[in-house]
Amino acid sequence: MNVIRLAPGEFREKLIEAPGTILDVRTPAEYEGGHLEGSTNLDFLGGVFGQEFENLDKNQTYYLYCGSGNRSGKSAQLMVDAGFTAAYNVGGFQELASAGFPVDY
Neighbour order of strands in the sheet with 61-66: 4-5, 86-92, 61-66, 21-24, 40-41
* Cα gap 45→36, rounded to integer Å: 19
Query: Tell me: the pLDDT tens digits for 53-94?
Result: 999 999 999 999 999 999 999 999 999 999 999 999 999 999
Average pLDDT of the segment spanning 13-41: 97
Confidence of residue 1 (pLDDT cuts 50, 70, 90): confident
